[in-house]
Amino acid sequence: MKAIITGGAGFIGSHVAEILLEQGHQVLVLDDLSGGFGDNVPPGADFEKRSVMDPLDHLFQSYRPNVVYHLAAYAAEGLSHHIPVFNFMNNTVATANVLAAAYRAGVEHFVFTSSIAAYGHPRENQAFDETTVCVPCDPYGAAKLACEHYIESFYSYFGTPAYSIFRPHNVFGPRQNISDPYRNVVGIFMSAVLRKQAMPVFGDGSQTRSFSYITGVARCIGEAPMTPAARNTVFNVGGDVPMSVGELARHVAEVMGVPAQIRYLPPRKEVQHAHCRHERARAAFPHVYAEQVDIVTGLKKMAGYVQSRPVPQVTECPSPIEISDLLPLSWAGRLGLQAPAAIPAD
């Protein structure tokens, strides 16, 4: 099989590339390196520095992939309120561009990574399953849901390519960009520890998520085109065990061998509790879920990885702030912006 992976120098994409190469497939990685790193591209993969907003027809038709894995995105959910135009261009418009090029090149299967953000706030604190009505509460979730609908409608109209859509959540592990201060809370915490700073927590840290170690998520995504049950299907994919952000901070400190130092920040508007059910993914990929890595074991693996490497330079947002109102004060300060309008009381 020949595969193109957009965002393949990023976190999840590089792991998917590695899995496919281990299985004997040919891989071409496309990445503009705005959030990924060239060192993440695994040996044996071809690499093309290219934006998913660029014309792609010549490249796709020259390479003739059987499968396209579209993972390129700037996945800063909270920041998306403040960069809405960039967010929709980078997600929705880019997906339309990649899917059209894939279709014209005769691609048979299109794999897309959406997000738990498509669901929005839970109803009565219930975990989301794939039948839950999606009511996204931020531009990132809205853009991802729009991409899902477009991919499904594209297949309905043209009859090809087949698709698999994944909604990962709170994924962490080696090769994650730990120096983006606006996304990936595990990376933010580990970066703070490495820089001998307190870990920043919005509010009281009682928010809960089910953090997901990368291996299982990447294997489900990588194996989707070879899995009949994954054809034209949407999956939640990730971990099952809830953990509060405050508890996560304490675990991060423990695995990195330091006292837990936490800097509590004013709360920001976000989903308080977000968790998924995974019966559908468990049925389609039982061998993957049978080997899930628990959160603490995964944190130890990631800590070993980040502590063995130099602390990377901070990766700033690739877009200017478009709307500064309600921007968290800590973000406004680092961006050199004036204090934003206050968050109204609920």
Q: Which CATH superfamily is domain 2-172+213-239+272-292 in?
A: NAD(P)-binding Rossmann-like Domain (3.40.50.720)
Instruction: Give all strands (DSSP E) within 240-309, no chain letters.
Output: 243-244, 262-265, 273-274
- Strand-pair category, 243-244 with 208-209: antiparallel
Q: In what side-by-side order are the strands of the sheet with 243-244? A: 243-244, 208-209, 273-274
Write the pLDDT tens digit of every residue in 53-96.
Answer: 999 999 999 999 999 999 999 988 999 999 999 999 999 999 99
d(CA 179, CA 264): 19
d(CA 164, CA 221): 8
Please, what is the average pLDDT of the chain?
94
Across 167-180, average pLDDT: 94
| Distance between start and end Cα atoms, the chain | 52
d(CA 109, CA 153): 15
**What is the CB neighbour count within 10 angstroms for residue 51?**
17
Across 202-216, average pLDDT: 95
Sorted by where each begins, the domain ranges of the chain are 2-172+213-239+272-292
Strand, helix or coil for residue 292? coil
- Sequence length of the chain is 346
Q: Which pair of tokens denotes residue 189?
A: 């915490």
Catalytic annotation present for 69: no
Give the rounded percent of residues in the chain with a pLDDT score beyond 70: 97
State which amino acid sits at residue 269: K
Alpha carbons within 13 A on the beta-carbon side of 296: 6
Considering 69, 74, 119, 140, which one is annotated as catalytic? 140
Cα angle, residue 131 at apex, residues 127 and 137 outer, rounded to 5°: 65
d(CA 187, CA 171): 10
Across 276-294, average pLDDT: 95
Q: What is the pLDDT of residue 345?
A: 42
Q: What is the pLDDT of residue 343?
A: 47
Q: Worst-scoring range by mean pLDDT, 43-52, 55-64, 89-98, 306-315?
A: 306-315
